[in-house]
Amino acid sequence: MNQLLTQIEKYKEDIKAFEVKSPDDLEAFRIKYLGSKGLVKIIMGEMKNVPAEQKKEAGQLLNEFKIFTESFYENLAQSVGGPSNKSVSNIDTSLPGDALPLGARHPISIVHNKIISIFQRLGFSVAEGPEIEDDWHNFTALNLPENHPARDMQDTFYISQNPDWLLRTHTSSVQIREMAKGVLPLRIICPGRVYRNETISARAHCFFHQVEGLYIAENVSFADLKQTLYFFVKEMFGENVKVRFRPSYFPFTEPSAEMDISCLICEGKGCNVCKKTGWVEILGCGMVHPKVLENCGIDSNKYTGFAFGMGIERITMLNYQVKDLRLFSENDVRFLKQFTGA
């Protein structure tokens, strides 16, 4: 113990005598006394040789010595105008810290979650299905038999090992899986990723996201479909957005329609996004074709239903005025961090 005390006193004398005239001298001081192999570390290591009953006293002594050396170093640092940049011990711990960059939710996820929550309020529940599908669920059961020309509308990626397998081209395949379970009435939305063999551009990508909706019960009518979608549009885009339905064709619905909303960018005056028409298409929909019901074992004389399908990217682009679809999959943090939402 006494030996330790003498040692510390000697070191203190040495420290006081240490000449520091430049940042380099300061660094030499730091290395000699406070570095990872410095004397403070070494003498602290002496603790293990101190008998148990003296440990407390020795610990205090050593601690005092450490603090003495550190504050001596800080004073020296100030006298030479700051530590050399290799030093780390001159840190002001009272300064506020730098904010850590916080992650943000992906805009597609924000819009996906919003769409789901709107339909959940109408009593729809979420159903999901596989991204690798078979021909039956993606096409045939949806009234698109082999050689049906409408298959060409969707450039399909086939899985080379098995020509019956493909990457689903739409989330309508999940309708089939859910209907085939035979539990009615059925009120579901099916969000998910879909794939098409398209050339990548500002307006098209080889994968994107859809939300499919399906309601099957007795006496479901086109009026129910319209009312459901009106509610969706008001909740998603606000009260002032106008809606129109245009007759269309899908093999799995009859009658079929496409729904447009008044352009959010130019408010209907005409711009590039709406191609000067004032309207943008946001989804396809219709009454589920009786053949599709029968394909899933549902009695089409007793049950009717409506379905709709929309692209999440399209809605996100309109919502945030994003003009290039590719931004969603490039993962550029400067783009992604601009979006806020749940």
Interface ranges with ligand DAH (CB under 6 A): 170, 172, 212, 250, 253, 284-286, 307-309
Is residue 61 a contact partner of residue 97, using CB atoms and an 8 Å limit?
A: no
**Which C-beta is closer to ligand DAH: that of 4 or that of 287?**
287
**Which C-beta is closer to ligand DAH: that of 303 or that of 339?**
303
Is residue 140 a contact partner of residue 180, using CB atoms and an 8 Å limit?
A: no
Is residue 210 a contact partner of residue 312, using CB atoms and an 8 Å limit?
A: yes
**Which C-beta is closer to ligand DAH: that of 27 or that of 258?**
258
User: 257 — phi, psi (to 5°)?
Assistant: -145, 160
**Which C-beta is closer to ligand DAH: that of 77 or that of 188?**
188
Helices assigned H by DSSP within the chain: 2-17, 23-29, 39-44, 55-79, 107-121, 135-138, 172-179, 222-237, 290-295, 312-320, 327-330, 333-336
Nearest CA-CA partner of 69 in 38, 37, 25: 38
Nearest CA-CA partner of 211 in 171, 256, 251: 171
As measured in angstroms, the least distance from the Cβ of 194 to ligand DAH is: 7
**Going by C-beta distance under 8 Å and a sequence separation of 6 or more, which residues neighbour residue 264?**
237, 241, 280, 318, 319, 321
As measured in angstroms, the least distance from the Cβ of 95 to ligand DAH is: 55
As measured in angstroms, the least distance from the Cβ of 146 to ligand DAH is: 18
**Which C-beta is closer to ligand DAH: that of 27 or that of 212?**
212
**Which C-beta is closer to ligand DAH: that of 192 or that of 309?**
309
Residue 79: count other Cβ atoms within 10 Å of its Cβ: 11
CA 237 – CA 248 distance, rounded (Å): 23
Query: Strands 207-217, 186-195: parallel, antiparallel or unpaired by DSSP?
Result: antiparallel
As measured in angstroms, the least distance from the Cβ of 262 to ligand DAH is: 21
As measured in angstroms, the least distance from the Cβ of 118 to ligand DAH is: 17
Q: Which residue has the tokens 């006494």?
A: 2
As measured in angstroms, the least distance from the Cβ of 172 to ligand DAH is: 4
10 Å CB burial of residue 113 (0-12, 13-18, 19+) is middle
As measured in angstroms, the least distance from the Cβ of 258 to ligand DAH is: 8
As measured in angstroms, the least distance from the Cβ of 240 to ligand DAH is: 26
**Which C-beta is closer to ligand DAH: that of 90 or that of 140?**
140
**Which C-beta is closer to ligand DAH: that of 12 or that of 193?**
193
**Which C-beta is closer to ligand DAH: that of 30 or that of 170?**
170
As measured in angstroms, the least distance from the Cβ of 192 to ligand DAH is: 11
**Quick one: tokens of 160?**
């080379």
CA distances from 179 to 1, 92, 111, 114, 166 (A): 84, 65, 26, 25, 21
CA 80 – CA 24 distance, rounded (Å): 10
Nearest CA-CA partner of 188 in 225, 210, 216: 216
**What is the number of the residue whose Cβ is closest to ligand DAH?**
309
